[in-house]
Amino acid sequence: MTLAYVSSLLDRVHDFRLMPEKIATFRSRPDCVVLRIRGDLVETRDGAPLHHKGPSGVGEIFLGLAPDGAPWFAGPAPETASLSPLRGLMLEGRVSAGELSILAQARGLVHWHERHGFCANCGTATELADAGYRRVCPACKAEHFPRTDPVVIIAVRDGSNILLGRQAAWAEGMYSALAGFVEPGETIEQAARREVFEESGIRVGAITYIASQPWPFPSSLMIGLVGEAVSRDVVVDTKEIEDARWFSRDEVAQMLARTHPKGLHASHPYAIAHVLLKTAAGL
């Protein structure tokens, strides 16, 4: 598979996060690498992520140890930084799969810290702990942890036909697997069946897990599934999506290869939807 964001080589060495003296030693090392992030943007130089070498700041987040032993950290980019979109770096293919995964980790953590500086319980400014994997309220002692939002994404098939939908905001001609957030109290299977029925009116029976993918926009985990339809008639909820319909196996193959005669196309190979469509269609 060519999925993005799934190939990090960092050892997160969880126990070291709880050892301030160890993290301080990492911060002071000359081979320390620091990435800088702002929103969906990465600090770059000549189109590649900029690796700041040398001591790390106290407020920067420990990402882990590289195979060569170098500690990696992440923090917010300054206003004067030259920035490039993380999605663009992925699509251009100028960054290794391993580093893209590290950037996804960094983006998710920096984004969370940017938006959780105050306690949700009492409103007091919180303090960074565990090298960036926890924030603690000094007033009420509440603990806050970085969140990851689970998202089900499912390619539904009926024989050799595949159900695909599109959002109005997507690029013209793009169709993909249906997706949605898992709600409190739901299993993965319940969430997938609910989302498909809400958006397309199709009922889903058996579901098979295929793969997962971190998706750092801002911090989701895509849970990739293939489902078997038990109904056929599509009823699109246009408040949810713009369109949904069945496509033949041959059409799906054309959309994946971007050779469809009507200009229709599927997600980029770096996205889990691409893998799900190939799997569901047996391509």
**Amino acid found at 246:** W
Q: Is residue 49 part of a domain?
A: yes
Q: What residues pair up with 204 in beta bridges, in sequence order?
A: 229
- Are the C-beta atoms of residues 163 and 201 closer than 8 Å to each other? no
Output the six-digit token pair for 150: 């689970």
Same domain for 200 and 161: yes
Q: Is the pLDDT of residue 1 over 60?
A: no
C-alpha–C-alpha distance, residues 100 and 94, integer Å: 10
pLDDT tier, 93 (very low <50, low <70, confident <90, very high otherwise): confident
- The string of pLDDT tens digits covering residues 96-119 is 999 999 999 999 999 999 999 999
- Domain extent at residue 122: 116-147
C-alpha–C-alpha distance, residues 126 and 39, integer Å: 20
Q: Which helix (DSSP H) or strand (DSSP E) does residue 151 occupy?
A: strand 149-158
Last residue in a domain, options 52, 81, 107: 107
Q: Is residue 2 part of a domain?
A: no
Q: Is residue 241 part of a domain?
A: yes
Q: Is residue 5 part of a domain?
A: no
Q: Is residue 198 part of a domain?
A: yes
Q: Is residue 1 part of a domain?
A: no
Same domain for 157 and 269: yes
Same domain for 73 and 47: yes
The terminus-to-terminus CA distance of the chain in angstroms comes to 13
Q: What residues pair up with 229 in beta bridges, in sequence order?
A: 204
Same domain for 226 and 153: yes
- The string of pLDDT tens digits covering residues 272-282 is 999 999 999 99
For residue 270, what is the domain's CATH number? 3.90.79.10
211 Cβ contact list (under 8 Å, min separation 6): 1, 3, 224, 272, 275
Q: Is 165 helix (H, G, I), strand (E, B) or coil?
A: strand
- Are the C-beta atoms of residues 49 and 63 closer than 8 Å to each other? no
Same domain for 70 and 20: yes
C-alpha–C-alpha distance, residues 44 and 48, integer Å: 5
**Amino acid found at 241:** I
- Domains: count for the chain: 3
Same domain for 263 and 198: yes
The more confident residue out of 94 and 9 is 9
Same domain for 154 and 143: no
Same domain for 84 and 125: no
- The string of pLDDT tens digits covering residues 58-85 is 789 999 999 999 999 999 999 899 999 9
C-alpha–C-alpha distance, residues 11 and 21, integer Å: 18
Q: Is 261 helix (H, G, I), strand (E, B) or coil?
A: coil
- pLDDT for 92: 87
Q: Is residue 161 part of a domain?
A: yes
Output the six-digit token pair for 233: 């008639």
Nearest CA to 246 out of 254, 234, 228, 259 is that of 234
- The string of pLDDT tens digits covering residues 140-195 is 999 999 999 999 999 999 999 999 999 999 999 999 999 999 999 999 999 999 99
Stated pTM of the model: 0.92
- pLDDT for 30: 94
> Which whole-number Å values give the CA distances from 66 to 6, 10, 98, 120, 124, in the listed order?
15, 5, 10, 34, 36
- Are the C-beta atoms of residues 155 and 177 closer than 8 Å to each other? yes
- The string of pLDDT tens digits covering residues 222-234 is 999 999 999 999 9
Q: Is residue 254 part of a domain?
A: yes
Same domain for 155 and 143: no
Same domain for 195 and 74: no
